[in-house]
């Protein structure tokens, strides 16, 4: 799925505008990729071509996973997008829920396996 399709799904799930959904989708994808090991980030990028281009442009400094607590992650998303904390939470939940439906079960398990367990509750609330 491409960024536009994913952002469209986020807009439908959250009620955010198209622009807000596009911004939060990008912020969440980049934030997730920054937390994953190099291999898992590449795996995610293989499923999302727009993200692959962005990751190629940025050099990763770490090869291992670098998980961020959910509260801190949502704060980063809110600051980056200018959304409220509540909208950032809804957007992040929407992105993760859309990824759960888009990726196959193994790919999604690999993605969430490197994140703190509290992210699972976010997705289930979406």
Q: Tens place of pLDDT for every residue, the chain, 126 residues?
A: 677 889 999 999 999 999 999 999 999 998 988 898 888 888 887 887 776 666 555 555 567 888 999 999 999 999 999 999 999 999 999 999 999 998 889 989 988 999 999 998 888 766
Closest CA to 93 of 70, 69, 67, 68: 70
Q: Cite the DSSP H helix spans in the chain.
A: 3-14, 18-35, 38-47, 49-57, 70-81, 85-102, 105-113, 118-125
Domain around 83: 3-125
> What CATH number did the domain enclosing 55 receive?
1.10.490.110
Q: How many domains does the chain have?
A: 1
């Amino acid at each position: 799925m491409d960024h536009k399709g994913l952002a469209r799904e986020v807009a439908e799930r959250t009620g955010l505008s198209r622009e807000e959904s596009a911004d939060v989708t990008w912020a969440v994808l980049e934030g997730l990729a920054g937390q994953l090991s190099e291999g898992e980030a590449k795996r995610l990028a293989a499923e999302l071509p727009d993200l692959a281009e962005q990751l190629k442009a940025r050099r990763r400094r770490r090869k291992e996973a670098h998980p961020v607590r959910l509260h801190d992650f949502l704060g980063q998303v809110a600051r980056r997008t200018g959304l409220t904390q509540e909208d950032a939470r809804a957007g992040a939940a929407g992105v993760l829920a859309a990824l759960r439906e888009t990726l196959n079960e193994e790919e999604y398990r690999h993605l969430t396996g490197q994140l703190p367990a509290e992210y699972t509750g976010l997705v289930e609330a979406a």
